[in-house]
Amino acid sequence: MSSDEQIAGSSEQVAAQQESTGTTALVLGAAAVSMMACPFLPPPVPIWFRLLPVYFIVPVGISAVVSGIIALRRMRCREEANRFRARAGVVLGAAAVLIPLTVIVWAIWALSQAYK
């Protein structure tokens, strides 16, 4: 292989790496948000399939936030990098963490007010 072919191959690899940066955060964030809808699936769906993903919402959301922040830090010096996927993963992961925690805090507050 000539040096021109090696340079072309390495530039293609770098371009592919830059494109895929942040994809993991986006996929994890989308998965965490979609897991929040599992309890609302219709009754013919098995109960384990509706309730098991609920236990993984917060860990997957935290993973999305962490991987998105790591991807954004890696892209800090590159001007041409597309940060949309990493930012979207951070936002979706944060929503997947904050919404269930807000519901839990509200439920605790409502139950404490009901028994006063």
* pLDDT, averaged in runs of 10, over the chain (116 residues): 59 56 92 93 91 93 95 85 90 95 95 88
| pLDDT at 6 (0 to 100) | 59
The answer to whether the beta carbons of residues 26 and 85 sit under 8 Å apart is yes
The answer to whether the beta carbons of residues 71 and 21 sit under 8 Å apart is yes
* Of residues 63, 74, 72, 4, the one with CA closest to residue 30: 63
The answer to whether the beta carbons of residues 60 and 96 sit under 8 Å apart is yes
Give, as one character, the DSSP assignment of residue 79. Answer: S
d(CA 28, CA 58) in angstroms, rounded, equals: 11
Domain ranges of the chain: 21-114
Q: Which residues contact 75 (CB under 8 A, 6 or more apart)?
A: 21, 22, 81, 83, 86
